[in-house]
Amino acid sequence: MKAAGAPKPNIVPHLVWMVSLGLFNPGGVWSVNMTIPSALIKSTVGSEALLSVRYVSFSLDLPVIKWTLKKEKSITVVQSIGTDIIGTPRPEYRDRILVFENGTLLLHNLRLSDEGTYDVEISITDDTFTGEGSIALTVDEVISKPFVYTESSSVLELTENVLLNCSHNNGTKTNYTWLKGGKRLTNETRFILSPDQKYLTIKRVLMSDDDLYSCVVENPVGRETSLPFRLSVYRRSSLYIILSTGGLFLLITLVTVCACWTPPQKKSKKPSRKPLEKSYDYSDCPINHTAASELSPKRSEAGRKPAVTSLYVLQQKVPSDDSRSENGDPPHYSPYPLRQTTVHLGPVTPPPLRSILKCS
């Protein structure tokens, strides 16, 4: 039994000695110390990405390395003991991964789906704590050369809503910047950018807007600038002068053509002579007995021998425009003899008496 009032033993030096012994004893390391050179890796589709890590441990045992990808849920990419992969990797990573002794992971033939945050854990049996770290991987397509597009490169002064479009083929997660004369444009009263800044709208175009425009497209893996696009602005007065000059020239041309052109004259159609009717009504016509008497003797001889006949045929004269008198009287008709013609005919029957009769 200890005597009363004896001093208590001091235990602090013992605790300090025990901690010092654990720190300087190689076999007393309690955790794996891990370092990550770069926490953000940018790469493109089809290329490769090296997720580099380093660890320190006094244990001679092989480390157990595990890589997982954080998305909606964590996906195990690979798990290995040293460089020996445990089990069979997932189909989307098969033949595309390689693990190094220091825990570094190499991904080949990158896809857009490979983008995300990768967590790595390295543990050793003799160590109490596991080394942990994270690396963000960005995968995207290389941006093609953009170009500025609009419906017309020439606009009239005070025109409303001229739209410029920055177009390109590849690349996602893109950011756009518009330049006017090499200087960056921001949202102003007359210059309006769309929410994604891909479109630039110019309201109420002024002469000062006649300039070079270009757009800059960038994403996590690249940056491209379009060729300068020239927007030409014309004054309204200049346009009116051009239109009025052209209209005046067109008017002079039309007047000259009309003055030199003469319409073709239409040929007047003369009334054609009507043929004699085959049948006539002779009830009211007087008979020319002289002509009838001359014809009757010859009618009996027609059947015996050929005859030479000279006939005077009364024929109606075609009225002319000058034959009408000034008083509106109808034109006069006068018989006239036909030219005497000798015709040698065989036995023929003379024409009927009606053909030589004429109404006066």
How much is the pLDDT for 242?
A: 62
- Specify whether the CB–CB gap between 146 and 166 falls below 8 A: yes
Q: What is the dihedral of CA 302, 306, 312, 313, to 10 degrees?
A: 70
DSSP string covering 40-51: EEEEETTS-EEE
The answer to whether residues 123 and 205 belong to one domain is: no
DSSP string covering 277-321: PS----TTSPP-HHHHHHHHHHHHHTTTS----------PPPP-G
The answer to whether residues 190 and 114 belong to one domain is: no
Q: In angstroms, how far is CA 328 from the centroid of its own chain?
A: 78
What is the token pair recorded at 42? 């940018």
- Specify whether the CB–CB gap between 146 and 224 falls below 8 A: yes
Domain end point (choices 75, 110, 140): 140
Distance CA 117, CA 133 (A): 10
Count of domains for the chain: 2
Q: What's the CATH code of the domain at 185? A: 2.60.40.10
Domain end point (choices 140, 171, 204): 140
Q: Is residue 183 part of a domain?
A: yes
Residue 140, SS3 per DSSP: strand
CA dihedral sign of residues 166, 170, 176, 181: negative
The answer to whether residues 127 and 166 belong to one domain is: no
The answer to whether residues 192 and 125 belong to one domain is: no
The answer to whether residues 37 and 134 belong to one domain is: yes
The answer to whether residues 132 and 36 belong to one domain is: yes
Q: Is residue 357 part of a domain?
A: no
The answer to whether residues 50 and 105 belong to one domain is: yes
Q: Is residue 286 part of a domain?
A: no
How much is the pLDDT for 6?
A: 39
Which residues does 130 contact at the CB level (< 8 Å), separation at least 6? 31, 32, 121, 122, 123
Question: What is the pLDDT tens value at each position of the chain, 360 positions in all?
Answer: 334 443 444 444 433 333 443 444 444 446 788 899 999 999 999 999 999 999 988 888 889 999 999 988 889 999 999 999 998 899 999 899 999 999 999 999 999 999 999 999 999 887 778 889 999 999 999 888 999 989 889 999 988 889 999 999 888 889 999 999 999 998 888 999 999 999 999 998 999 999 999 999 999 888 999 999 999 999 887 655 666 666 777 878 887 777 776 666 655 555 555 554 444 454 554 544 444 444 444 444 444 544 444 444 444 444 544 444 445 555 554 454 545 555 455 555 555 555 555 444
Domain end point (choices 193, 220, 235): 235
The answer to whether residues 118 and 159 belong to one domain is: no
The answer to whether residues 194 and 210 belong to one domain is: yes
Q: Is residue 289 part of a domain?
A: no
Q: Is residue 18 part of a domain?
A: no
For residue 101, the enclosing domain spans 27-140
Which residues does 163 contact at the CB level (< 8 Å), separation at least 6? 150, 151, 199, 200, 201
Distance CA 138, CA 221 (A): 8
The answer to whether residues 129 and 152 belong to one domain is: no
The answer to whether residues 125 and 169 belong to one domain is: no
Q: Is residue 188 part of a domain?
A: yes
Distance CA 355, CA 280 (A): 9
Helices (H), the chain: 12-24, 236-260, 289-301
Q: Is residue 251 part of a domain?
A: no
Q: Is residue 55 part of a domain?
A: yes
- Specify whether the CB–CB gap between 163 and 201 falls below 8 A: yes
The answer to whether residues 96 and 198 belong to one domain is: no
